[in-house]
Structure 1
Amino acid sequence: MGGSGTGKRVEVTLKLPQLQNLCKRDPSGYKEDFEAQVRRLESELGILALQPATEPSARLIELIQFAAAVSSSSYKATHADHIANLLIGLLVGEQTAEEKNSVMISSSLPVTALHRDVRKTCVSALILMRNKGVLPPIRILELFFRIMAVVPDKKLRELLYHHLVNDIRNINKKGKRDDTINRSIQTFLHKLISGHQVSASGEEESSTDVAAKRATDLVCELYRRRIWTEERTVAIVASAVLSPNVTIMCRAMRFFLNIEEKMAEDDAAEEEVDWSEKNAIDYHSHSKKTAARERHVNRQLKNKVKAQKKRELQDEWMEMNMNPDKDKGVEACKKLYPAIELLRDPQGLAEAVFKKLRSNNSAYKYQVKLLMINFVTRLVGNHELILLPLYSFLQKYMGGHQRDVTAILAYAVQACHENVPPDEIHGILKTIAHNFITERCSEEQMAVGINAARAICTRVPSSLSTEEVDGITNSTTMDIEAFARDLAAFGNHRDRSVAIAGKGWLNFVRDVYPGLLQGKNRGLKGSALHKAGAKPLRYGEKKVASGVEGAELLYEYEAKKAAKQKKQAQNAEDEGSEGSDDDVSGEWQDVEDASDVDEDDEAEEEVDDDEAPNLVNLDAEEEQEEDDEEEEDSAIPDVSKMTPKERELLKQKVSSERVFTASDFEKMRKLVELERRAREDPREAARRKRAKARGQDLEDLSDDSEDEDEANRIKIAGAVNPEDIMADARRKRQSKAERLEKVIAGRTKFEAKQREGGSTNEEKKRKKNFTMSKFSFEARSKGRGKKGLNQNNQGGMKRGKKQIGHEAKKRRRKS
Structure 2
Amino acid sequence: MVRSQISRGILLASNLPQLQNLIKRDPAAYKDEFLQQWSHYESIRKIFDISPDEHAQHFREIVTFVAQVAHCYPKETAAFPSQISSLLLQRFSSLNPETRKSLVSTLVMLRNKDCMSSIDLLRSLFPLLPLTSSSSLRASIRKTILSDIRTANLKSKNHILNRAVQAMLLGMVERGMSSDADKGVAFVATTDKRTGHANDEALWAVALVQELWKKGVWNDAKTVSIMATGCFHPVVKVQHISIKFFLAIEDEEDSEDEEESPIDVKALHHRREVTKKTRSGDKKLSRTLKAAKKHGKTRQATTRPPSFSSVDLLNDPQTFGEKLYDSLKKYDSRFTLDHKILVLQLLSRIMSAHKLCILSFYTYIVRYVTYHQLRIPAILSALAQSVHDLTPPDVLTPVVRKIAQEFIHPGVGGEVITAGLNAIREVCKRQPWCIEEDLLGDLVEYRKSREKSVVSAARSLLHFYREVNPSMLKRRERGKESSMRSDETHLRPYGQPVDPADNIDGLPLLEEHLRDLESMPNRDEADNGDDWDEWEVDSAESGSSSEDGWIDVDSDGVEDVMMSDSEDEGSSHKKQDASTTSASTVQPVESTLATSKVWLQFIVVMCILTPIFQILTPADFALLHDLRIKAARKAVESGAGPSTKRKLALLEATKSSTPVEANAENLFVSEQDILGPRKKLKASYSERVASIQTGREGRERFGSNKGKKKKDVPSSSTNREKLRNKPIMMIMASSGVRGKKKASLRDKQKKLRAHVDKAKKTHH
State the TM-score bracket (shorter-chain normalisation).
0.5 to 0.7
The alpha carbon displacement at 1:723 in A equals 1.8
Spell out the pairing of 1:366-515 with structure 2 (5 A cutoff).
Answer: 366-463=337-434, 480-515=436-471
Query: Aligned partners of 1:399 and 1:438: how far apart in 2?
Result: 13
Q: 1:278 to 1:654 in 2, by over 3 A?
A: farther
Is residue 554–residue 667 contact of structure 1 (8 Å, CA) maintained in 2? no
Give the corresponding residue for 1:587.
Answer: none
Q: 86, 101, 109: which is aligned to 1:120?
A: 101
Q: 458, 476, 493: which is aligned to 1:538?
A: 493
Q: Which amino acid counterpart does residue 163 of structure 1 have in structure 2?
A: T
Which digits, 9 at most, give the CA deviation of each residue in 1:415-472, with x for residues without a partner? Answer: 01111111122121011011111122232211110110111111222335xxxxxxxx
Is residue 48–residue 56 contact of structure 2 (8 Å, CA) maintained in 1? no
Query: Aligned partners of 1:708 and 1:245: how far apart in 2?
Result: 43
Which digits, 9 at most, give the CA deviation of each residue in 1:159-207, with x for residues without a partner? Answer: 21111111111111215x4322221222222222223322353633511
Which digits, 9 at most, give the CA deviation of each residue in 1:29-76, with x for residues without a partner? Answer: 222222222232233333333433x386543322221111112x2112
Give the corresponding residue for 1:711.
Answer: 658
Q: Which amino acid counterpart does residue 239 of structure 2 have in structure 1?
A: M
Q: Which amino acid counterpart does residue 168 of structure 1 have in structure 2?
A: I
Is residue 552–residue 654 contact of structure 1 (8 Å, CA) maintained in 2? no
Q: 1:192 to 1:390 in 2, by over 3 A?
A: same
Is 1:147 aligned with 2:145? no
Q: 1:222 to 1:200 in 2, by over 3 A?
A: farther
Query: Aligned partners of 1:405 and 1:277: how far apart in 2?
Result: 40
Give the corresponding residue for 2:670.
Answer: 721
Q: 1:445 to 1:272 in 2, by over 3 A?
A: same
Q: 610, 631, 634: which is aligned to 1:655?
A: 610
Q: 1:542 to 1:37 in 2, by over 3 A?
A: same
Name the SS for the 2:658 alignment partner.
Answer: helix
Query: Aligned partners of 1:670 and 1:719: how far apart in 2?
Result: 25
Name the SS for the 1:157 alignment partner.
Answer: helix
Is 1:82 aligned with 2:84? no
The alpha carbon displacement at 1:343 in A equals 1.1
Is residue 553–residue 671 contact of structure 1 (8 Å, CA) maintained in 2? no
Give the corresponding residue for 1:770.
Answer: none
Q: Which amino acid counterpart does residue 199 of structure 1 have in structure 2?
A: S
Query: Aligned partners of 1:558 and 1:331: how far apart in 2?
Result: 37
Give the corresponding residue for 2:175.
Answer: 195
Give the corresponding residue for 2:41.
Answer: 41
Is residue 496–residue 729 contact of structure 1 (8 Å, CA) maintained in 2? no
The normalised TM-score by structure 2 is 0.65
The alpha carbon displacement at 1:218 in A equals 1.3
Q: Which amino acid counterpart does residue 461 of structure 2 have in structure 1?
A: W
Q: 1:673 to 1:65 in 2, by over 3 A?
A: closer
The alpha carbon displacement at 1:658 in A equals 4.0
Which digits, 9 at most, give the CA deviation of each residue in 1:276-296, with x for residues without a partner? Answer: 89999x9xx9989xxxx9xxx
Is residue 216–residue 302 contact of structure 2 (8 Å, CA) maintained in 1? no
Q: 1:133 to 1:332 in 2, by over 3 A?
A: closer
Q: 1:6 to 1:277 in 2, by over 3 A?
A: farther
The alpha carbon displacement at 1:533 in A equals 2.1
Which digits, 9 at most, give the CA deviation of each residue in 1:638-674, with x for residues without a partner? Answer: xxxxxxxxxxxxxx99724341534655566677788
Query: Aligned partners of 1:674 and 1:521: how far apart in 2?
Result: 30
Is 1:226 aligned with 2:208? no
Q: 1:37 to 1:434 in 2, by over 3 A?
A: same
Give the corresponding residue for 1:207.
Answer: 197
Is residue 340–residue 379 contact of structure 1 (8 Å, CA) maintained in 2? yes
Give the corresponding residue for 2:328.
Answer: 357
Query: Aligned partners of 2:675 and 2:303: how far apart in 1?
Result: 32
Query: Aligned partners of 2:28 and 2:303: how far apart in 1?
Result: 58
Which digits, 9 at most, give the CA deviation of each residue in 1:247-280, with x for residues without a partner? Answer: 1111111001016999xx99xx999869989999
Give the corresponding residue for 2:533.
Answer: none
Query: Aligned partners of 1:279 and 1:117: how far apart in 2?
Result: 39
The alpha carbon displacement at 1:412 in A equals 0.2
Q: Which amino acid counterpart does residue 81 of structure 2 have in structure 1?
A: A
User: Which consecutive residues of structure 2, in runs of 5 or more, have no partner in the other structure?
Assistant: 522-606, 692-764
Query: Aligned partners of 2:609 and 2:411: how far apart in 1?
Result: 59
Q: 332, 342, 345: which is aligned to 2:316?
A: 345
Q: Which amino acid counterpart does residue 153 of structure 1 have in structure 2?
A: S
Query: Aligned partners of 1:8 and 1:556: how far apart in 2?
Result: 87
Give the fraction of aligned pairs with identical amino acids, expressed as a percent.
Answer: 25
Query: Aligned partners of 2:176 and 2:632: how far apart in 1?
Result: 56
The alpha carbon displacement at 1:234 in A equals 1.3
Is 1:244 aligned with 2:234? yes
Query: Aligned partners of 2:622 and 2:12: how far apart in 1?
Result: 77
Is residue 551–residue 655 contact of structure 1 (8 Å, CA) maintained in 2? no
Name the SS for the 2:347 alignment partner.
Answer: helix
The alpha carbon displacement at 1:677 in A equals 9.6
Q: Which amino acid counterpart does residue 710 of structure 1 have in structure 2?
A: S
User: Which consecutive residues of structure 1, in runs of 5 or more, have no partner in the other structure?
Assistant: 94-109, 312-329, 465-479, 567-651, 689-700, 740-815
Spell out the pairing of 1:743-782 with structure 2 (5 A cutoff).
Answer: none
Considering only CA atoms, is the larger Rg found in Structure 1 or Structure 2?
1
Which digits, 9 at most, give the CA deviation of each residue in 1:519-556, with x for residues without a partner? Answer: 44333444345x55234222122441452234873598
Give the corresponding residue for 2:89.
Answer: 92
Is 1:29 aligned with 2:9? no
